[in-house]
Amino acid sequence: MNYPEAVREFARYVALPVEQIRLDVAALLLARTEYPALDLAAQLKRLDTLAARAECDPGLSPQVNIASLNQLLYDEEKFAGNDEDYDDPRNSYLNDVLDRKVGIPITLSLVYQEVARRCGLPVVGVGFPGHFLAKYITASGEILLDPYHRGVTVSVQECEEKLKAQFGEEAEFRPTYLQESSTKHILTRMLNNLKGAFFRRKDFARVLMMIEMALAVDPASRQEIHDRAMIYFLIRRYGDAMADLRYYLSISPPDDHQIRSVRTMMHRIQAMHN
93-131 pLDDT per residue, tens: 999 999 999 999 999 999 999 999 999 999 999 999 999
Smallest CA-to-CA distance from 133 within 88, 93, 186 is with: 186
Which residues, 6 or more positions from 11, have their beta carbon under 8 angstroms from its beta carbon? Answer: 212, 213, 216
Average pLDDT score, the chain: 96
Residue type, 82: N
Q: What is this structure's pTM?
A: 0.94
Distance CA 190, CA 194 (A): 6
Distance CA 95, CA 93 (A): 6
**pLDDT for residue 90 is more than 80:** yes
Confidence of residue 272 (pLDDT cuts 50, 70, 90): confident
Distance CA 149, CA 169 (A): 23
Residue type, 34: E
- What domains are there in the chain, each with its CATH number? 5-178 (3.10.620), 220-272 (no CATH)
